[in-house]
Structure 1
Amino acid sequence: MISAWLLALAQLSDPRLRRPLLLGLGAATALFLALIVGGSWLVASAASGGGWLERVVDALGAIASVAVAVLLFGPATLLVAGLLLEDVAAAVEARHYPGLPPARVSGLGEQLVAGLRLGGRLLALTLLALPVALLLPGFGWAVWLAVAAYAYARDYAELAALRRMDLAAVRAWRRRHRLTLFLAGLPAALLALVPVANLLVPVLGAAAFTYLAIRLGPAPRPARAAP
């Protein structure tokens, strides 16, 4: 689990990742700025009724808007990851698993639909945990982190594994490795909370879970290099 993220980090300098990395950074930046604008509107709308919530919003100011944007950034990254997955996965496989047979390559429309579907599921879970995170500092953020880690693990793993398994096999695989995948989702959830670092989540998440899908799945492992 840790090794998958370390390998993903180490591969950021790979020339084969340059294009998806630049596209991912650009798209994630645009989405994050849009979420800050949307978060400002959402916070202002929630406080329009007056009372204690309005006083809290007045006290927090822009911090509340940024917090909402950070918490909603996760679902947006799945759309970006869905569009970048093929390029990222191809780079991971070329570097670590060059002997694998060709994977099933999905079209742009299929990638977009998958990203929207999985992003929508993560958005629903995030919105359920959002009031707890905002109203109960500490405990609420721990709840959000657990929910986000579960959602990242489920959705990134599905995006990556569907390249080499059918849906029934992917679901059985997820159940068999649910704890490992959940733990692998924690770095994604934590990175999503860190401004600037969260822009790397789409590429790093796609790379880390591609590695896990191959290492834990039915595909053969690469041969070890001789010492």
Structure 2
Amino acid sequence: MIGAAMLAFEQIFSAPFRSVMWKALALTVALLAVLWIALQHVVLYLVVLPFPWLETAFSIVSGVGIVVGLAFFIAPVTSLFAGLFLDDVAEVVERTHYPADPPGRAMPLGRSVLTTLQFTGVVVLVNLVALPLVFLLGFGVIVFFVANGYLLGREYFELAALRFHSHETTRALRLRNSGRVFLSGLAIAAFLSVPLLNLFTPLFATAFMVHVQKRISARESGAGGVLAPA
């Protein structure tokens, strides 16, 4: 797993990834900026203070607080863009590291968008729960890592595996290797926790899970497992 993570990290800054990297970065930063502006306006609209200097001070403090809060929403934001870039990233990884294997097939756009939106909704809810726990009880960081480790591991593994297998086979493959998928998800959550670097999470997570999925599928096929085609 460490080797797969290192390969993914090295590749996200390589030449074949650059166009996708800049598009992912631009969309992520743009959406976070829109969220920050919207939340700032809502807070300032709801809170009325008697003195201009107090409003200015509150605006600065609330702006910084919203930036901190948005750090917890990088997970759902990056999940939202996962379906947009997965096939481009996966094709580069498969072509570079697994040229002898049959290429994967892109999911239909409608199914990819629906799957991504459903999953993003779940990630938003989980992070909405984790955020107050961080400030109120102090163990929200654990909730953040465990929940996002499970959710991100599940999402990115299934998106990578669905390029080769049916939904039924993909789910069975994930359940039989749930421990490894969860640990891989924790690695993605750790990457997600690094400021600035976390903006590249969709690229890292996709490339990483392509390697993980390939190795799991190869191991099961070699052990006599039955892997149904997509």
Same fold (TM over 0.5): yes
Any conservation in 1 of the 2:94–2:103 contact (CA below 8 Å)?
A: no
Letter in 2 for 1:35: L
Any conservation in 1 of the 2:24–2:200 contact (CA below 8 Å)?
A: yes
Equivalent residue number for residue 187 of structure 1: 187
Equivalent residue number for residue 99 of structure 1: 100
Equivalent residue number for residue 120 of structure 1: 121
Counterpart CA distance in 2 for 1:197 and 1:164 is 29
Structure 2 matches for 1:1-227, cutoff 5 A?
Answer: 1-40=1-40, 44=43, 61-137=62-138, 139-218=139-218
Query: Secondary structure in 2 aligned to 1:217?
Result: helix
Counterpart CA distance in 1 for 2:36 and 2:217 is 38
Going from structure 1 to structure 2, the CA distance change for 1:188 and 1:34 (only over 3 Å counts) comes to farther
Counterpart CA distance in 1 for 2:159 and 2:106 is 12
Letter in 2 for 1:158: E
Q: How far apart are residue 216 of structure 1 and its match?
A: 0.7
Going from structure 1 to structure 2, the CA distance change for 1:34 and 1:217 (only over 3 Å counts) comes to farther
Q: 1:45-94: per-residue Cα shift (whole Å, max 9, x none)?
A: 9x96xxxxxxxxx6964343122211111111112111001110000001
Going from structure 1 to structure 2, the CA distance change for 1:127 and 1:65 (only over 3 Å counts) comes to same
Letter in 2 for 1:152: L
Counterpart CA distance in 1 for 2:95 and 2:7 is 13
TM-score w.r.t. structure 2 length? Answer: 0.81
Q: 1:4-36: per-residue Cα shift (whole Å, max 9, x none)?
A: 211111112432212211111111111222333
Going from structure 1 to structure 2, the CA distance change for 1:175 and 1:38 (only over 3 Å counts) comes to farther
The percent of aligned pairs where both chains have the same amino acid is 33
Going from structure 1 to structure 2, the CA distance change for 1:204 and 1:104 (only over 3 Å counts) comes to same
Going from structure 1 to structure 2, the CA distance change for 1:220 and 1:35 (only over 3 Å counts) comes to farther
Q: How far apart are residue 201 of structure 1 and its match?
A: 0.3
Q: How far apart are residue 130 of structure 1 and its match?
A: 2.5
TM-score w.r.t. structure 1 length? Answer: 0.82
Any conservation in 1 of the 2:192–2:201 contact (CA below 8 Å)?
A: yes
The structure having more radius of gyration, on CA atoms, is 2
Letter in 2 for 1:176: R
Counterpart CA distance in 1 for 2:11 and 2:215 is 17
- RMSD value, Cα: 2.7
Counterpart CA distance in 1 for 2:68 and 2:169 is 37
Counterpart CA distance in 2 for 1:164 and 1:204 is 20
Equivalent residue number for residue 51 of structure 1: none
Letter in 1 for 2:105: R
Range moving further from structure 2, 111-120 or 78-87 = 111-120
Any conservation in 1 of the 2:191–2:198 contact (CA below 8 Å)?
A: yes
Letter in 2 for 1:188: I
Letter in 2 for 1:80: F
Going from structure 1 to structure 2, the CA distance change for 1:202 and 1:130 (only over 3 Å counts) comes to same
Q: How far apart are residue 121 of structure 1 and its match?
A: 2.0
Equivalent residue number for residue 52 of structure 2: none
Equivalent residue number for residue 228 of structure 2: none
Counterpart CA distance in 2 for 1:193 and 1:38 is 24
Equivalent residue number for residue 53 of structure 1: none
Q: Aligned pairs, how many?
A: 212
Going from structure 1 to structure 2, the CA distance change for 1:86 and 1:31 (only over 3 Å counts) comes to same
